[in-house]
Amino acid sequence: MTTRPELWGVLNVTPDSFSDGGRFVDPEAALAQGLRMVAEGASVIDVGGESTRPGAEPVAPEVERERVLPVVAALVAQGIRVSIDTMNASTAAAAVEAGAAIVNDVSGGLADPAMLETVAGLGSQYVIMHWRGPSETWDAVSDYAWAPQDVTNELMGRWHAALEAGVQPERLWVDPGLGFAKRSEHNWQLLAELGTLRSIGARVLVGASRKRFLGALLPEGTPVDERDLLTAVVSALAADQVDALRVHDVRSSARALDVWQSIATAADSAPAYRASYVASPPLDRHARGDAITLTGLRAFAHHGVFDHERRDGQEFVIDVTARLDLRSAGSDDELASTVHYGVLAEQVVSAVEGDPVDLIETVAERVAAVVLSHGAVWQTEVTVHKPQAPITVPFADVSVTIVRGRS
Ligand code: PMM
């Protein structure tokens, strides 16, 4: 079952944010905008009091708190789930005290050394965004060997730091930080390979909304809010891979998710037999050919339609191919990132040696189910050989092969 991602509405109570600077500085206007975004489909309002726009003046934490706290409190009083977008531990603590449920830290705990411990004590959720430093350093730190892998590795480091500080894993989110020390191509690469981020095991938030790499697709001088259509397209295209999307215009992204959801629901309602022969390859084309293969597994069992086969038993030989994305295992060298072939071999043999059945087709289905019980495997090919089958003419081997996958 496909789950629709949440929409987090951006509420910048700053005089100088790049996309909506100055519009919601007045707490009443901010509350009205928050309520509007919730009515349009936002389940979280992300309140920020310091612009992260390149060149923006840093804001003292006291000023930041003066801006955000009345707005956080007013939204919370309306029963709205609030996230506080801050790099300052003191602002995070005050906002959670005022009722915020999430701390969204664009620095992933790097800007304020007190942040991780503070969050650990607060009990709130915590968004670790990918960050390589303040905007004035970006020119010097925007090189990546391969952005999806580098960003994932660096986020993994921050994720471990958060765990070490005492934040429980179920409270953590990760965010690739689109536009932060990333050139245009890096943002597109990250969007193309969001699956890599999922390997961290935390929920994934993505904020593409109105960012410059989208604006680069429009004629020069196009107003920033015309990037909302492009943002909405990103929302729909990323929906399979993320848990939440941080957007300024909730309405257009909610509409885009309606379209995505209608397609996803139709896919879920496909008849069960479809799953038995159609497998969806990973969205990521780079991983589609990856596989673990076991050949010549031997099992002794009592399958067959003849009495002597049931009584005496015979040898069955099994070949199995399990297709799964092996890139994380290849980069982190961790057994936990793949399927243990020794365990898989034992499971296959034990499935074949189970209760006797008439047909090797049935044995093959049993083996396929065992292989697919490993969640990472998206498709399996199983061949069951019966070299001593009761065939009255000389023969070398007889086998059946099936290909099964999850839909
Ligand atoms: N982008 C901005 C600010 N905060 N937080 C997260 N988690 N992810 C983002 O991509 C992100 C963020 C950029 O500025 P904006 O508030 O004007 O969108």
Q: What is the pLDDT of residue 272?
A: 54
Is 211 among the residues known to form the active site?
A: yes
CB 177 within 8 A of CB 151: yes
Q: What is the pLDDT of residue 21?
A: 59
State the amino acid at position 373 in one-letter form: S
CA 371 to chain centre: 23
Ligand 1 atom closest to residue 129's alpha carbon, by position in its atom list = 7
Residues of the chain with pLDDT under 50: 275-276
Cα–ligand 1 centroid distance for 296 (angstroms) = 53
Give the residue whose CA is nearest to atom 13 of ligand 1: 52
Closest among 378, 376, 403 to 320, alpha carbons compared: 403
Give the residue whose CA is nearest to atom 14 of ligand 1: 52
CA 28 to chain centre: 35
Q: Which of 246, 251, 386, 404 is catalytic?
A: 246
Measuring from each residue's beta carbon to the nearest atom of ligand 1, which residues come in under 6 Å? 10, 12, 17-19, 48, 52, 85, 104, 106, 127, 129, 175, 177-178, 205, 207, 209, 246
Of how many residues is the chain composed? 407
State the amino acid at position 186 in one-letter form: H
The full set of domain ranges for the chain reads 6-266, 291-405
pLDDT digits (tens, 9 = 90+) for 71-88: 999 999 999 999 999 999
State the amino acid at position 325 in one-letter form: D
Spatial distance between the Cα atoms of 8 and 100, rounded to a whole number of angstroms: 13
CA 227 to chain centre: 24
Cα–ligand 1 centroid distance for 207 (angstroms) = 6
CATH 2.60.40.1290 fits 291-405, yes or no: no
Residue 41 Cα distances to 128, 164, 197, 250, 258, angstroms: 24, 35, 25, 7, 11
Q: What is the pLDDT of residue 218?
A: 98
Top-tier CATH class for 6-266? alpha beta
Give the residue whose CA is nearest to atom 3 of ligand 1: 52
- The predicted model scores a pTM of 0.72
Residue 158 buriedness (CB in 10 A; 0-12 / 13-18 / 19+): buried
Sheet architecture: strand order including 399-405: 291-301, 314-324, 377-385, 399-405
Pocket probe mutation, ligand 1, options 20, 85, 115, 249, max atoms within 8 Å of Cβ: 85
Cα–ligand 1 centroid distance for 259 (angstroms) = 25
Spatial distance between the Cα atoms of 146 and 186, rounded to a whole number of angstroms: 8
Q: What is the pLDDT of residue 115?
A: 98
Q: How many CA atoms lie within 13 A of 312 on its CB side?
A: 9
Is 386 among the residues known to form the active site?
A: no
Q: What is the pLDDT of residue 27?
A: 86
Say yes or no: do domains 6-266 and 291-405 share a fold: no
Ligand 1 atom closest to residue 205's alpha carbon, by position in its atom list = 7
CB 301 within 8 A of CB 353: yes
Pocket probe mutation, ligand 1, options 225, 246, 248, max atoms within 8 Å of Cβ: 246
Q: Which of 203, 211, 251, 327 is catalytic?
A: 211
Q: 170: Cβ–Cβ under 8 A, 6 or more apart, which residues?
A: none
CB 128 within 8 A of CB 119: no
Q: What is the pLDDT of residue 23?
A: 76
Give rounded-to-5 percent helix, strand, coil for the chain: 45, 20, 35
Ligand 1 atom closest to residue 207's alpha carbon, by position in its atom list = 10
Residue at token pair 């531990």: 89
